[in-house]
Chain A
């Protein structure tokens, strides 16, 4: 009996010791817990959904692409730098072909080698419908960001040829959005699909679902734990190919907290160490509790995109200029507790693509009224315009108060603005169909926020006469032969400096023509615990987690 008691006590003691040791080990682990605005864990299979927040958390952390953003500077726009490709150049004999030389010695998390076959496999996953790994779920977020990509071909183990539909100097930047998943790891998942599933597409889908739960890329973090819709845990990859970017934290925990008050409560209660996009009215409380608020200019534009078809008031450039002169952006910024940057173009002054516009976007209601009178409008005869806006939505900031503020501003310049308020999903479905579609309801402008990370997303899709709906996002049917020529020049300028110069000329001309009411840029606010050190918030949608440490 005494022996039994003693052995029981020993067992309890052993358990307590083990428990305390594991607690101590956990306590020593350096963890950052993040509350995302996403409603769900962004896809982990290689091409994340949930917009660029997805790329931020399950893209660049787990995967790499051939080219990548330099996220090391807070003071200048992020530039493209080599990623899994060391060098690239366009084929001098055929400008639709690009030759990429790959980085040697890179391995996926599962140990398989990254090589030219892997690049071809990853291009085929979104382009080649007869490829076993073809995944319709991944093509939406991929092809919309690299519309000229057509195919990839292996030249040797470390050289790949990538073909575009037309000469396109933007391709290397677009390819930042094509992440390299491990073909070998996927093949294992594919082989493990139950034999009962015989349909080829269903087998592929099942393999991708398994891959998403146990993923493998080449990135600085690797899979640890995935609880669908609740949490994702990734741990440092100690063998990351870039020794200067090996993570200093052991683990990142990501929680989807789409509701802003829930995110704020999670931060203030100590449940997470980091939240994305705190509500403006919670900023003071967050700062008072000792958290650090990081902001920086983001390649994002919150505009009104004008309709240019005959009959639209904004077909007249004087009205486009007048509207741009009539918005008090500084007061709008105050309304948002400072959580915006004033927009004077698609990109801000200091950006390599900014150029020197002749038309200066500023607040000058007197000049605006003068233009309106020239165009035949007055207080008693205002320009009646309808604008389609959303009540909320990803990247839409605070659409209702912001739009009401602008409505009041424009009233002083003889604009009578009416809003069609709709749900965000409906708004951008209408956006794809264009201003001539019945869904536009005669709107003279639409308020859809845009990412301006690369020249295609920032400019080409809105100003090219080849980008009218349904091809791309030139909702307003803006067309200008000079701008088409400038765009073609930029697209065929294959040296980076030459390309940036051409883009600067193009951008200046776009600002002069004002196809947008330039209003605001988001500043990507995030609140972090002071225990997180080494945070570099770049002028980007993304952030590098490898620089961070935890006290």
Chain B
């Protein structure tokens, strides 16, 4: 187990370096001015050159990359050009906010999706199956920012029950799990939950259908096991795959949804990434992408380990 873990971490290191290199090159090759946030459009090209020198953007790209990697290895991802705040602080604040949102969205999505999936799988081709399928297809097909806007129109503008944007009455810095704060979380979390809900529902439906068709289920029933007992076995057999799907979904959601977080002004990683892209804030952009890539690698590793613990038959070589 430990050897397996070490081997996986060993595989992750070159992946990380590759991601760092790719993201560095991509953001530098993209057109635009990295100083856009501190240089108004009416600034002259002369002034722009002066600032490029001051910020070190006039140095060769390999030198800039080496400098960035060296500092990143020491835990310093530089400072945001737009805000002059350390990138590490910016990213971790955003990760915390996205974690709150993604966790609730995944919980809602997994619970509702599993429910629809089991109903669909158990009652194949019935009206309940069709209804569950329609909901899950809608979940994966409709643009989520559109769903978000519709929810805002209904629950914020018309009914005035829930706030349409933000992360709490005083901002995310003082997040608390109370009614006043959770009200801000409901609309974005519900909107975001449509993604995992649809995917989990479809996965679980297919799994349940497959498992119910297997001989061991017939055997269980032949031995007189009640329907609830059979259900427990089906759940146990579905769990590893469903968990893997949920883990991946959580990973995607932890990456932040640019559209949903922007529609709801939720200050998570997607919102931050959006701002970094539009402001051409290269240090911030590189920092966010690197941290998110790290998360993804770590999460995949955690899911693999969890799968192995749940189902010892899964062996890794």
What is the interface of chain A, defined by CB distance below 8 A to chain B?
Answer: 39-40, 43, 45, 49, 51, 136-141, 143-145, 147, 205, 208-209, 212, 225, 227-231, 255-259, 261-262, 265-266, 268-271, 394, 423, 425-426, 428-429, 431-433, 448, 450-451, 457, 461, 469-473
Contact = CB atoms under 8 A, between A and B. Distances in A.
B152 A265 contact: yes
**Most chain A beta-carbon neighbours within 10 Å: one of B45, B275, B278:** B45
29 contacts: A39-B275, A39-B278, A40-B82, A43-B83, A49-B38, A49-B82, A139-B47, A140-B39, A141-B39, A141-B43, A144-B43, A144-B44, A209-B79, A209-B84, A228-B93, A229-B275, A230-B166, A231-B170, A259-B263, A262-B152, A268-B157, A269-B157, A269-B163, A271-B163, A271-B164, A271-B166, A469-B44, A471-B45, A471-B46
Given A255-B265, A450-B42, A227 B47 contact: no
Contacts of A212: 83-84
A423 B280 CA distance: 12
B41 A431 contact: yes
A136 B42 contact: no
Given A39-B278, A473-B42, A265 B153 contact: yes
Contacts of B85: 209, 228
B264 interface: yes
A137 B38 contact: yes
Given A40-B275, A51-B40, A229-B272, A470 B46 contact: yes
Contact of B45 (A209, A227, A432): A432
Interface of A is mostly: mixed
B83 A40 contact: yes
B300 interface: no
Interface of B: 31-33, 35-51, 54-55, 79, 81-85, 90, 93, 149, 152-153, 156-157, 160, 163-167, 170-173, 262-265, 267, 271-272, 274-275, 278-280
A69 B265 CA distance: 33
Nearest to A392: B278
Nearest to B162: A269
A23 to B, nearest CB: 12
Contacts of B163: 269, 271
Contact of B79 (A141, A205, A433): A205
A230 B172 contact: yes
A137 B36 CA distance: 11
B153 A256 contact: no
Contacts of B41: 51, 394, 428, 431, 448
A41 to B, nearest CB: 8
B269 to A, nearest CB: 12
A470 B166 contact: no
Contact of A137 (B48, B84, B149, B165): B84
Contact of A432 (B43, B81, B83): B43
A425 B32 contact: yes
A423 B272 CA distance: 19
Q: Which 5 A-B pairs have the closest CB atoms?
A: A470-B45, A227-B171, A140-B39, A144-B43, A428-B41
A262 B171 contact: no
A136 B51 contact: yes
B33 A141 contact: no
Contacts of A461: 42
A49 B39 CA distance: 8
Contacts of A139: 47, 50-51
A520 B29 CA distance: 35
A258 B262 CA distance: 8
Nearest to B280: A425
Contacts of A227: 170-173
Given A212-B83, A450-B42, 17 more contacts: A39-B275, A43-B83, A49-B40, A51-B40, A141-B38, A143-B47, A144-B39, A228-B85, A229-B275, A255-B265, A259-B263, A266-B164, A266-B165, A269-B163, A271-B166, A429-B32, A469-B44
A255 B168 CA distance: 12
